[in-house]
C-alpha cells in the first residue's frame, strides 16, 4: 500500500514561484517607500521568550490567550513563535541600547507572523506582515507620518477604494475613568450582550467595542465614546494628528469603536480597509504605544507603529484586478539536439551565466519543439538552438520567441551579442 502523503500544516501554505514574485513586488514597494522616508530595516528572531508577548500584547487578548504558538524547548524554556512584530522590535531596541541613538529610531520589518487562528481566506496560521515603528517621538506629526506611509504604499500598489478609520483610546491619565464609565454602561446592558462579550467585560472591556457580534453591536450604538472622555493632553494630541492629515488632504473616518486587538495601544489607533467584504478586509493598522517600552523594562519612551498583512494586500489587489504584469525576465533558453550539441549547450549556458546573462536549459532528450515550449513558459525573449550542424559550423540559431524569427550567429560572439541586446554593460 502506498504511504499517505504528508501535507502542509493546516493554515500554512506554499508560495510557488509565480505568486512569490507578486509578494516580492509588494515587499519592494514597501521597502522603497520606507527606505525613502528614512526607516532602516530590522530583522528579529522568529522565536522569542513567551513572556515578551504576554507582557506586551497582553493576557486577555485573543492573540495571546487563543492564538499563540508557544511551547517548551529542550531546555525547558517557554518560547513562542512571534504573532506580531512590535514586541520583538521593542525588545531589540532595549537590548541594543537604541535609546542612546539619535531619537527617534525609525525601523521597518518584513516578517512572518504565526497565529493559531481559524483558517479561512485572508486568515492564515502563518502570514506575512510589513510594518514600521518610530520609537522616541511623541509628536502628533509622527502618527500622521506613519499613517501616510502606509497609505502611500497602498496607493502605489494601485489599490482603489481604500478607506482609513481613526480613533483615540486615551492614555493612563484618562483611560481608567473611561473604562469605568464603559463597564458601568455594559453592566447595565449585560443581558443584551453576546455571551463572549459578557466574559470580556470583566477581562478586557475595551475589546467589547470591536465585537463582531450583532447583539453587542446594537448595544454599542449608544455606548460612551473615548473621544468624550479624553484628558487635555490626549485631546490636543488627537487634534494635532487630524490637523496634519487634513493638511495633506488625507481622507479618514472617525470610528469610536475602533480599539484594535492588542493591549499596548494608547492614544491614536488607525486601520486601513479595502473593498473586499467581511472581517478579513483590514489591510493594516496600528497606533501609538507610549507605555510599552516602559512595560518591557525601558525608560518611558513614546512610540508609534503599524503593521499590514501582505497576504491580504495581495488578495485585495487580485480582487481589484490591479495585479501588475510583472516584467518579462530578460533571459535566454538554450535548446539543443543531439549528443555533441548537448555539451556545447551546457558549456554555453554556464558561459552566459558567468557573463551575467540569465540562462537556463535542460540537457535532455526532448524534441526541439518541447524545449521551445518550455522556453515559452519561462517567458524569456530569446532561445538559442544548437543542433549537429551548428556544432560543426561553430554557430548557434538565435530565435526571437515573440516573432519566431531566427538568425545564425557565430558561437564565439553569441555571449557578447546577448549582453548587448539585454543592455548588460
Ligand atoms: P494585527 O496585528 O492583528 O492588527 O494585524 C495586522 C495586519 O495583519 C492585519 O490588518 C491583517 O492585514 C494582517 N493579519 C492579521 N492576522 C492575519 C492572519 N491570521 N492571516 C493573514 N493576515 C493577517
End residue of a domain, out of 295, 319, 343: 319
The set of cell numbers assigned to 219 is 448595544
The set of cell numbers assigned to 274 is 479595502
Distance 390 CA to ligand 1 centre (A): 57
CATH number at residue 376: 3.40.50.800
Please report the atom of ligand 1 found closest to the CA of residue 282.
10
To test ligand 1's pocket by mutation, which of 127, 133, 261 has the most ligand atoms within 8 angstroms of CB?
127
Angstrom distance (rounded) from CA 288 to CA 75 = 36
16-61 pLDDT, tens digit each: 988 999 999 999 999 999 999 999 999 999 999 999 999 998 887 8
Whether pLDDT at 164 is above 90: yes
Cβ(308) – ligand 1 distance below 6 Å: yes
Q: Which residues contact 101 (CB under 8 A, 6 or more apart)?
A: none
The pLDDT of 156-175, averaged and rounded, is 94
pLDDT at 348: 96
E-strand stretches of 326-402: 331-336, 358-360, 382-386, 395-400
44 lies in the same domain as 104: yes
Please report the atom of ligand 1 found closest to the CA of residue 286.
4
- Examine residue 136 and state whether it is found in any structural domain, yes or no: yes
CA atoms within 13 A on the CB side of 122: 20
163 lies in the same domain as 34: yes
Give just the sign of the alpha carbon dihedral 384, 387, 393, 397: negative
Distance 123 CA to ligand 1 centre (A): 7
CATH number at residue 95: 3.30.930.10
Cβ(82) – ligand 1 distance below 6 Å: no
User: Residue 112 is inside which H or E element, if any?
Assistant: strand 105-114
Q: Which residues of 117-129 are buried (b: 16+ CB within 10 A; e: fewer)?
A: beeeebbbbbbbb
298 lies in the same domain as 341: no
335 lies in the same domain as 313: no
Cβ(123) – ligand 1 distance below 6 Å: yes
287-340 pLDDT, tens digit each: 999 999 999 999 999 999 999 999 999 999 999 889 988 777 789 999 999 888
pLDDT at 210: 84
To test ligand 1's pocket by mutation, which of 307, 314, 317 has the most ligand atoms within 8 angstroms of CB?
307
- Is the pTM value of this prediction over 0.85? yes
- Examine residue 221 and state whether it is found in any structural domain, yes or no: no
Amino acid at each position: 500500500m502506498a504511504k499517505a502523503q504528508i501535507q502542509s500544516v493546516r493554515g500554512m501554505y506554499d508560495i510557488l514561484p509565480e505568486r512569490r514574485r507578486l509578494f516580492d513586488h509588494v515587499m519592494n514597494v514597501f521597502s522603497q517607500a520606507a527606505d525613502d522616508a528614512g526607516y532602516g530595516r530590522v530583522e528579529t528572531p522568529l522565536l522569542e521568550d513567551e513572556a515578551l508577548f504576554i507582557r506586551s500584547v497582553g493576557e486577555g487578548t485573543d492573540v495571546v490567550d487563543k492564538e499563540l504558538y508557544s511551547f517548551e524547548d529542550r531546555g525547558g524554556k517557554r518560547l513562542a513563535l512571534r504573532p506580531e512584530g512590535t514586541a520583538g522590535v521593542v525588545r531589540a531596541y532595549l537590548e541594543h541600547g537604541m535609546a542612546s541613538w539619535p531619537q527617534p529610531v525609525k525601523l521597518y520589518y518584513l516578517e512572518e507572523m504565526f497565529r493559531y487562528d481559524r483558517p479561512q481566506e485572508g486568515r492564515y496560521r502563518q502570514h506575512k506582515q510589513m510594518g514600521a515603528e518610530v520609537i522616541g517621538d511623541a509628536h502628533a506629526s509622527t502618527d500622521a507620518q506613519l499613517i501616510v506611509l502606509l497609505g502611500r504604499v497602498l496607493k502605489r500598489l494601485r489599490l482603489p477604494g481604500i478607506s482609513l478609520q481613526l480613533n483615540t483610546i486615551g492614555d493612563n491619565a484618562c483611560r481608567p475613568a473611561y473604562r469605568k464609565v464603559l463597564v458601568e454602561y455594559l453592566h447595565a446592558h449585560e443581558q443584551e450582550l453576546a455571551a463572549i462579550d459578557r466574559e470580556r467585560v470583566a477581562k478586557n472591556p475595551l475589546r467589547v467595542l470591536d465585537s463582531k457580534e450583532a447583539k453587542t453591536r446594537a448595544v454599542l450604538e449608544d455606548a460612551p465614546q473615548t473621544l468624550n472622555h479624553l484628558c487635555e493632553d490626549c485631546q490636543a494630541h488627537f487634534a494635532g494628528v487630524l490637523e496634519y492629515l487634513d493638511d495633506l488632504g488625507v481622507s479618514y473616518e472617525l470610528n469610536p469603536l475602533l480599539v484594535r486587538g492588542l493591549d499596548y495601544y494608547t492614544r491614536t489607533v488607525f486601520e486601513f480597509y479595502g473593498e473586499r467584504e467581511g472581517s478579513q478586509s483590514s489591510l493594516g493598522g496600528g497606533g501609538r504605544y507610549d507605555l510599552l517600552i516602559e512595560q518591557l523594562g525601558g525608560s518611558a519612551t513614546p512610540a508609534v507603529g503599524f503593521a499590514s498583512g501582505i497576504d491580504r494586500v495581495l488578495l485585495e489587489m487580485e480582487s481589484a484586478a490591479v495585479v501588475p504584469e510583472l516584467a518579462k525576465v530578460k533571459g535566454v533558453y538554450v535548446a539543443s539536439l543531439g549528443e555533441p550539441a548537448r555539451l556545447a549547450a551546457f558549456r554555453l549556458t554556464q558561459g552566459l551565466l558567468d557573463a551575467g546573462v540569465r540562462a537556463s536549459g535542460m540537457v535532455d532528450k526532448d524534441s526541439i519543439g518541447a524545449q521551445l515550449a518550455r522556453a515559452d513558459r519561462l517567458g524569456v525573449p530569446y532561445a538559442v538552438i544548437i543542433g549537429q550542424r551548428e556544432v560543426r559550423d561553430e554557430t548557434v540559431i538565435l530565435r526571437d520567441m515573440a516573432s519566431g524569427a531566427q538568425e545564425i550567429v557565430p558561437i564565439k560572439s553569441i555571449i557578447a551579442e546577448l549582453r548587448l541586446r539585454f543592455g548588460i554593460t
